[in-house]
Amino acid sequence: MKIHALSRSKKDKYPPSVEHNHIDLTASPDELAKELQGVQGDYLFFAAYLADDDEQKMCDLNGSMLRNFLHALHTTGAIKSLKRVILVTGAKIYGVHLGVPKNPMEEDDPWLEGSEWPPNFYYVQSHILKEEASKASFDWTVTYPNDVIGVAKGNFMNLTTTLGLYCSVTKELGESTLPWPGSTEFYGFFDCMTDADLHADFCRWAATEPKCSNQAFNVVNGDAITFSSLWAKFAARFGLGLDPHDLSNPPRDPEIQKLAPNPPVSASAAANGLVGHFKQSVVEQRINLVKWSQRDDVKAAWDRLAEREGLEHDSFEKATWGFLSFVLGRNFNLVVSMSKARKAGWTGYIDTWDAFEKHLGALEEGKVLPGRK
């Protein structure tokens, strides 16, 4: 079996069984085709993503990357051997970035399309994929992971690294307890997360599973967690305790950000008898982590820690503090149904804390986080 890994980076290391091709997905189809000569396969896993603060620009950018890549495969002729494209998207397809969604989130929930909703690049990519598949002989599968936890460096959305850094530096600052920085409400609300390794296993399984042909699937761990059940575990792992009165104490550096005027659940409110039941969602921070990460004492603590433990010094700067603030600050539940995948035969599962333990350990081995004492 031959595997082609395609990326813009030239620094990634791959095993001998993998052939790495350097490509820039923002290039034109003709330029991409030149870089893809001799590259072909039966299954394509497309997980590329570029961020932009403007939603329409993000639609244009990420949509063109997918379309241009597929057009380049037409030029090289590789499209003829392609059996299935697995496109990685996310729970943003349900509008979780806009406010409370319909819970549980299910794959046949209505999309938030129309002038009353902001553009969503996942919709654009999904439409492009279906359109291009109809012109060729391949079919498709789309995945919807949520709050992915894994090992990545300099990633746009890396919960594990940033959480680990928050805990490590809090300890280095001489704190005896681990303050909860997010929403008081979300601390006890439900969330469903996706282990990166589990998601990779799902994608591999879905590539050849007949029941996954031309279908979209939620992919989460299989449990529903609350941070009220996890936070003491994070604290203990990093040698800290919890203040029994933490959530009753005044917030240290509070900030509230309003999300969309109408939350996503309003799209199905009439059908579910919920019209007028939901108000505008917010992101509430008891500690603004972006500001916290820029404090002089916090930076100095990281400098000491990185120097003493021989850690990658730029890990702290590359951490996604804004994304972690958003995830922990939401004031609503996020429950993701796995029923469709289960009915198709998927049995994968991992306990979310076990997933965090695994990836925190890998980050410690990789000298991104300090080792356990």
Task: Provide the mean pLDDT of the chain.
Answer: 95
CA distance 226 to 148: 15
Angle between helices 159-172 and 296-309 (to 10 degrees): 100
At 208, which CATH number? 3.40.50.720
How large is the greatest C-alpha to C-alpha distance in the chain, in angstroms? 64
> Do residues 162 and 297 both lie within one domain?
yes
CA distance 57 to 232: 41
Q: How many CB atoms lie within 10 A of CB 267?
A: 21
What single letter denotes the amino acid at residue 160? T
Q: What φ, ψ does residue 110 adopt, rounded to 5°?
A: -65, 140
Q: Residue 239 falls within a domain, yes or no? A: yes
> Do residues 270 and 160 both lie within one domain?
yes
> Do residues 82 and 130 both lie within one domain?
yes
Q: Residue 117 falls within a domain, yes or no? A: yes
8 Å CB contact between 19 and 5: yes
Q: Are strands 282-285 and 255-258 parallel, antiparallel or unpaired?
A: antiparallel
> Do residues 315 and 204 both lie within one domain?
no
3-state secondary structure of 264: helix
Q: Residue 301 falls within a domain, yes or no? A: yes
CA distance 17 to 1: 8
Handedness of CA 244, 249, 254, 257 (dihedral sign): positive
> Do residues 70 and 182 both lie within one domain?
no
3-state secondary structure of 143: strand
> Do residues 135 and 279 both lie within one domain?
no
Q: Domain count of the chain?
A: 2
Report the residue count for the chain.
373
CA distance 147 to 78: 33
Q: End-to-end CA distance of the chain, in Å?
A: 43
> Do residues 203 and 92 both lie within one domain?
yes
> Do residues 173 and 287 both lie within one domain?
yes
Q: DSSP code of 39?
A: -
| Residue at token pair 């082609």 | 4
Q: Residue 347 falls within a domain, yes or no? A: no
| Residue at token pair 């917030």 | 251
Q: Residue 24 falls within a domain, yes or no? A: yes
CA distance 360 to 369: 8
Identify the CA nearest to 50 among candidates 64, 33, 68, 39.
64
Identify the CA nearest to 348 among candidates 226, 233, 218, 230.
218
Q: DSSP of 293-311, one letter per residue?
A: HT-HHHHHHHHHHHHHHT-
Q: Residue 157 falls within a domain, yes or no? A: yes
Please give the pLDDT value at position 373: 66
Decide: residue 281, CB within 10 A, 0-12 exposed, 13-18 middle, 19+ buried: buried
Q: What φ, ψ does residue 116 adopt, rounded to 5°?
A: -80, -5
> Do residues 230 and 210 both lie within one domain?
no
Q: Residue 113 falls within a domain, yes or no? A: yes
> Do residues 56 and 187 both lie within one domain?
no
8 Å CB contact between 218 and 105: yes
Q: DSSP code of 241?
A: B
Please give the pLDDT value at position 116: 93
Q: Which domain holds residue 8?
A: 3-146+197-219
> Do residues 257 and 319 both lie within one domain?
yes
3-state secondary structure of 282: strand
Q: Residue 345 falls within a domain, yes or no? A: no
Q: Are strands 215-219 and 194-195 parallel, antiparallel or unpaired?
A: unpaired
> Do residues 205 and 268 both lie within one domain?
no
Please give the pLDDT value at position 156: 65
What residues of the chain score a pLDDT lower than 70? 10-11, 154-156, 373
Two structure tokens written together for 236: 């203990």
H or E segment and range at residue 18: strand 18-22
